[in-house]
């Protein structure tokens, strides 16, 4: 805008500019606000419509969740932790199973939506609830049952992305689950402890016998099912010998 720059000398105030223009503007607004109604939204009684993308508190679809802990790891304020609760689904006459589900401390939640964004099964959703005031800090901690929310299409967050090697070539973006990272095993370090197989939330790890050691006991190595894997890092974290690493799809 340098060419038509307005300098003080060029833009002197006219006769009307002294005080009348601001008075004119305010009176115009006054008449507008009296004839129509003012812009104010009287909040507790009236509420603004929330757009589809609105990010309120995180919600949980209990049955979809597999307790993988991705939301716990990605949460920037670490307000999510996994707790053991009774499963909602139970067969007749049986004790309900114990399952791991996320618990969210909404007093610390940033409403960033990462938990829903990274959730591999769309169990964490972003709900439009934003009236979350409580009387105590304990009440702000939502256990998995309280965290449940009615599902509507659009609450879950699907991220479509491309790999860095594919940028600016013609490619349809894909869901993250379609080009997932797979854990790989460092054979040297593995001690056949089977913890990865036990902790895998989707049973993608099977222990396969590959031989016998010098004492005659079977050597078992984990084999990863790329179809089932959700690249949740659980096996990498629990591995006592750091034998597992994630092979990233890039």
Partner 1 sequence: MAEMWINMGPQHPMTHGLWNMRIKVDGETITDAEPVIGYLHRGWEKMVENRLYPQIIPMADRLCYGSAFTWSHVYCMAVEKLMDIEVPERAQYIRAMSDELQRIGNHLMWLAAIGTDLGNLTMFLYATRDREMFLDLFTSLTGARMTYNYCRVGGVRNDSPPNWTRDLVRTLDYFEKRLKEYDMLVDQSKLFRMRMEGLGYMSAKDCINAGITGPVLRASGVKQDLRHNDPYEIYEELDWNICTHDDCDTWARYRVRMMEMQESVNIVRDILKKMPESGPIRVKPPRAAPVGTAMARMEDPRGESLMYLVGDGTDKPYRLSVRSPLYVIISASPQLLKGYRIADVPSILGMLDVCVGEMDR
Partner 2 sequence: MYLDLWNLVGGLIHWLMVDVIGEILNWLHLYGLADWLGSSGVLHILTIIVVGLIILVVGMLVSITLIWQDRKMLGRFMDRVGTQVGPFGLFQNFADALKVLVKEYIIPDAADRLIYPLAPILIIGLSMAMFVTIPYSQGFYMSNSDLSVILTLAILAVVPFAVLMGGWASNNKYTLIGGMRAAAQTCAYEVPLLLSVASVVVLTGSMNFMDIVAFQYENTWLVIPLIIGFIVFLVSIIAEVERVPFDLPEAEAELVEGWQTEYGGMRFGLIMMSQYARSFVGASLIVLLFFGGWHGPFADYIPAGIWFVVKVFLVFILFVWAWAAFPRIRTDQILDLCWKRLLPLAAINLFIAVFFKTMGWF
Q: Identify the bridge partners of residue 124 per DSSP, sorted by sequence position.
A: 60
- The one-character DSSP state at 156 is S
Long-range contacts of 76-84 (CB under 8 A, 24+ apart): 76/110, 76/112, 76/114, 77/108, 77/109, 77/110, 78/108, 79/104, 79/105, 79/106, 79/107, 79/108, 79/109, 79/110, 80/104, 80/105, 80/115, 83/143, 83/144
- The one-character DSSP state at 49 is P
Q: Say if CB 177 and CB 202 are below 8 A apart.
A: no
Torsion 99-100-106-112 (CA) sign: negative
- Measured from the CB atom, the residue of 30 and 130 that comes closer to partner 2 is 30
Using CB under 8 A as the binding rule, whether residue 10 contacts partner 1 is answered as: no
Q: What does 30 interact with, of partner 2, partner 1, none (CB < 5 to 8 A by kind)?
A: partner 2
Smallest distance, Å, CB 39 to partner 2?
Answer: 5
Q: What does 194 interact with, of partner 2, partner 1, none (CB < 5 to 8 A by kind)?
A: none
Burial of 127 (0-12, 13-18, 19+ CB in 10 A): buried
Using CB under 8 A as the binding rule, whether residue 57 contacts partner 1 is answered as: no
Q: What does 34 interact with, of partner 2, partner 1, none (CB < 5 to 8 A by kind)?
A: partner 2
Q: What does 87 interact with, of partner 1, partner 2, none (CB < 5 to 8 A by kind)?
A: none
Using CB under 8 A as the binding rule, whether residue 46 contacts partner 2 is answered as: no
Part in contact with partner 1 (CB under 8 A); list of ranges 51-59, 60-68, 97-105, 200-208:
51-59
Smallest distance, Å, CB 235 to partner 2?
Answer: 58
d(CA 160, CA 165): 15
What's the CA angle centered on 101, arms 97 and 106, to 5 degrees?
145
Q: What does 96 interact with, of partner 2, partner 1, none (CB < 5 to 8 A by kind)?
A: none
Smallest distance, Å, CB 19 to partner 1?
Answer: 6
Using CB under 8 A as the binding rule, whether residue 194 contacts partner 2 is answered as: no
Residue 104: helix, strand or coil by DSSP? strand
Interface pick for partner 1 out of 74, 82, 182, 238 (rule CB under 8 A):
74
Strands (E), 6-48: none
Using CB under 8 A as the binding rule, whether residue 29 contacts partner 1 is answered as: yes
Distance linking the first and last C-alpha atoms of the chain: 44
Binding-residue pattern over the window 94 to 133 for partner 1, x denoting contact by CB under 8 A: ----------------xxxxx--x--------x-------
- Measured from the CB atom, the residue of 22 and 218 that comes closer to partner 1 is 22
- How many chain residues are in contact with partner 1, going by CB under 8 A? 58
Residues that bind partner 2 (CB under 8 A): 19, 22-23, 25-27, 29-30, 32-34, 38-40, 42
């Amino acid at each position: 805008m340098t060419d038509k720059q307005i300098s003080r000398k060029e833009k002197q105030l006219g006769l009307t500019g002294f005080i009348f223009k601001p008075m004119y503007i305010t009176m115009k607004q006054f008449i507008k606000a009296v004839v129509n109604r003012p812009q104010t939204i009287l909040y507790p009684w009236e509420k603004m419509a929330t757009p589809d993308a609105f990010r309120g508190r995180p919600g949980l679809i209990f049955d979809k969740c597999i307790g993988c802990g991705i939301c716990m790891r990605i949460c920037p304020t670490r307000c999510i932790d996994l707790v053991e609760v009774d499963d909602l689904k139970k067969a007749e006459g049986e004790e309900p199973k114990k399952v791991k589900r996320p618990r969210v401390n909404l007093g610390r939640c940033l409403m960033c939506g990462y938990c829903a964004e990274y959730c591999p099964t769309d169990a964490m959703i972003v709900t439009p609830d934003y009236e979350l005031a409580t009387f105590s800090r304990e009440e702000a901690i939502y256990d998995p049952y309280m965290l449940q929310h009615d599902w509507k299409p659009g609450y879950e967050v699907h991220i479509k992305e491309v790999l860095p090697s594919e940028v600016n070539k013609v490619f349809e973006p894909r869901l993250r689950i379609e080009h997932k990272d797979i854990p790989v095993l460092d054979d040297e370090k593995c001690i056949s402890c089977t913890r990865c197989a036990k902790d895998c939330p989707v049973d993608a790890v099977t222990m396969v016998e590959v031989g016998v050691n010098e004492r005659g006991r079977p050597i078992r190595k984990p084999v990863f099912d790329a179809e089932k894997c959700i690249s949740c890092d659980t096996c990498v974290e629990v591995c006592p010998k750091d034998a597992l690493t994630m092979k990233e799809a890039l």
